[in-house]
Amino acid sequence: MSHDTSPEPRTKESGGFLGHIFGHRAHANPGHETHPGSSAKSTLDLGDIQGLILRGYRMPMVRHFLLTVKTPAAARQLLGRLVNGDESDAPQITTAEDWHVGFAPGPGDNPADLPRRKPDYCLNVSVTWPGLVALEIKDRVPALSFKSFGAFVAGAAARGSLVGDTGASAPQNWIGAFGTGTDHVLVTLHAMSPDAMKTYSDRLSALFSQGNAFQEIWRTDGMALMQIVDGKPVLTSKVPFGYTDGISMTTIRSGPERYTQDHQEPCEPWLFLLQDEAENYFVPEPRELGLNGSFAVFKMIETDVVGFENFLQSNKDKIDPELLAAKLCGRWRNGVPLALSPETDSPPGGIPLEQLNNFEYVNADGSGDPRGLRCPVGAHMRRVNPRGQPITGQSQAGGSNNTHRLIRRGLPYGPAYDPTQPYDGIERGILGYFINSSIENQYEFVLGHWVNDSEFAGAVRLNPKAKDPMIGTQDPYESIFAIPQANGAPPIKITGFSSFIKTKAAAYCFLPSITAIKFISNLG
């Protein structure tokens, strides 16, 4: 992943961009996401908010544990130990505070000092509605109310058809206990190294069954993809299909993280944190349980990489395979956005790292790329975040579509695709969380109305059968991706392709605040 458009050279410098992403160094180059103690003073109660909502941990490894409640009282107690501040008793849930607060400083660390290194692990916990019931919160808290959050209460399986989880992706085909009602609690452990992963994973496994609190019913691992550079394995921020990810980040007004410029209005905190200022929901009751919480859709998505590569090659008579890959996503596979460089992934002079997300599709005066000659209106990125593009429901050019924004926290699973072994039969994909305050108005809206439908594009008439070519649920008899051409030339029409992804598991989860977890553990 290199951002000066000359692919890969940066990977040689372990202290370079990748060192910055996955390295232990907490301080990074200016203008990009950092964890300096000096981060702009956020007005949000960072110590009460689970870290992954507001921060990208940029750790190369993750393990997700799915637990079912066995003994409710013991399970509630155990959750309380994950926020009691005593690392020696149990690994502690990571908050959104700067690194060095809340973690036992390493030997010789002076807590007052600016952090010199990231912690070895980060821990977070989320609960499904059946989990809240199994923890007896519904029984013990008569005032309990999630009235604005019907999707969360109904669950991912019941809502699958709204987001394209049909056919091979249908809930009855999901793995483990997902969607069965015994999928109660997801524990997510990020780690900097295999040693740290083993250490903290073993500690957690031992804890889960204490007092017969929980039973672990499934686990899976994600890991940043490796690439061999000069004979040495190097971590990348590539995702399956060969794209560079982790460039478009969602800036939250008065959040703790600063991202590179992106022409977009910062998002209001209530879009990702349950806050009283919200415009389209009431904070769940009681407030101790609801405030500063959030919702996350956990998803495990399998990717048909060989199918995707064959698809690119099978259309090379119509369009260069790498250009097609770029048109499908909205970025060339090295991360360069079509909006800034429609002809090549290596524009002369390159594009600086901090400019890779600094583009707009349609400016307030209607200029830019309204017809999608640079980046197709139907491309993945332009569907999932149309930025200033006028769309159904928001017809102002250059306007904001922030009410449907998402925060993505994921990592690939399975090894990097090896084109010399196309049919190695190894499953690959992405797993992680899509974070939002309203699952209905953000996650479901994006997948239901923008990814799997084409009415969204307002004045730009897309083929009504057209869906997101990369992640849409396709019927090969109807699938179509039209690539507009300049000078009145007819669009290049790509048809007959199937879905390139399959949902393997999904869960609608509540990310309780630290106060909420203490509230749950004090329910006796």
The rounded distance, in Å, linking the Cα atoms of 146 and 510 is 11
Per DSSP, the residues of 422-439 read TT-----EEEEEEEES-T
Interface pick for ligand HEM out of 385, 437, 438, 474 (rule CB under 6 A):
385
Cis-peptide into 30, omega within 30 deg:
no
Out of 102, 240, 269, 472, point to the residue binding ligand HEM (CB under 6 A): 240
Here the tokens at position 509 are 């989860």
Q: Which helix (H) or strand (E) covers residue 247, if one does?
A: none
Give, in order, the Cα–Cα distances in Å from 297 to each of 336, 502, 505.
28, 16, 10
- Using rule CB under 6 A, residue 438 touches ligand HEM: no
State which residue, 83 or 431, has the beta carbon closest to ligand HEM.
Answer: 431
What is the sign, positive or negative, of the torsion defined by CA atoms of 99, 101, 106, 110? positive
Residue 518: both structure tokens together: 């203490």
Q: Which residue is nearest to ligand HEM (CB)?
A: 248
Q: How many Å apart are CA 390 and CA 275, to the nearest integer?
A: 28
The single residue among 323, 384, 435, 462 that binds ligand HEM, judged by CB under 6 A, is 384
Report d(CA 24, CA 193) in Å as an integer.
10
Interface residue with ligand HEM among 82, 197, 296, 301 (CB under 6 A) is 301
Any contact of residue 245 with ligand HEM (CB under 6 A)? yes
Strand segments (E) across 273-348? 294-303
Asked if 289 is part of the footprint of ligand HEM (rule: CB under 6 A), the reply reads no
Tell me which of 34, 42, 77, 248 binds ligand HEM, using CB under 6 A.
248
Query: Which range, of 28-36, 211-219, 220-228, 241-249, touches ligand HEM by CB under 6 A?
Result: 241-249
Other CB atoms within a 10 A radius of the CB of residue 434 amount to 21
How near is the Cβ of 209 to ligand HEM at its closest, in Å? 33
Which of residues 191, 323, 379, 471 is near ligand HEM by CB under 6 A?
471
Q: Applying CB under 6 A, does 160 fall inside the site for ligand HEM?
A: no
Minimum CB separation from ligand HEM for residue 91, in Å?
A: 29
Q: Of the ranges 13-21, 78-86, 238-246, 394-402, which one interacts with ligand HEM (CB under 6 A)?
A: 238-246
| Of the candidate residues 213, 379, 430, 466, the single one contacting ligand HEM (CB under 6 A) | 430
CB of 451 to ligand HEM, least distance (A): 7
Per rule CB under 6 A, is residue 271 in the interface with ligand HEM? no
Whether the CB-CB separation of 80 and 229 falls below 8 Å is answered with no
Is residue 444 helix, strand or coil?
helix
Q: Is 148 left (phi over 0), alpha (psi -120 to 50) or beta?
A: alpha
Query: Does the footprint of ligand HEM cover residue 362 (CB under 6 A)?
Result: no
Q: Decide: is 447 part of the binding site for ligand HEM (CB under 6 A).
A: yes
Contact 58, 22 (CB under 8 A): yes
Cβ neighbours around 216 below 10 Å, total: 15
What mask, x for binding ligand HEM by CB under 6 A, covers residues 318 to 337? Answer: -----------x-x------
Number of residues that bind ligand HEM (CB under 6 A): 25
Please give the DSSP secondary-structure letter assigned to residue 362.
Answer: B
Residue 67: closest CA among 229, 258, 205:
205
Minimum CB separation from ligand HEM for residue 38, in Å? 26
Q: Does 291 bind ligand HEM (CB under 6 A)?
A: no
How far apart, in whole angstroms, are the C-alpha atoms of residue 115 and residue 98?
8
Q: Find the binder of ligand HEM among 103, 241, 281, 295 (CB under 6 A).
A: 241
List contacts with ligand HEM (CB under 6 A). 239-241, 243, 245-248, 301, 303, 329, 331, 380-381, 384-385, 406, 408, 430, 434, 443, 446-447, 471, 501
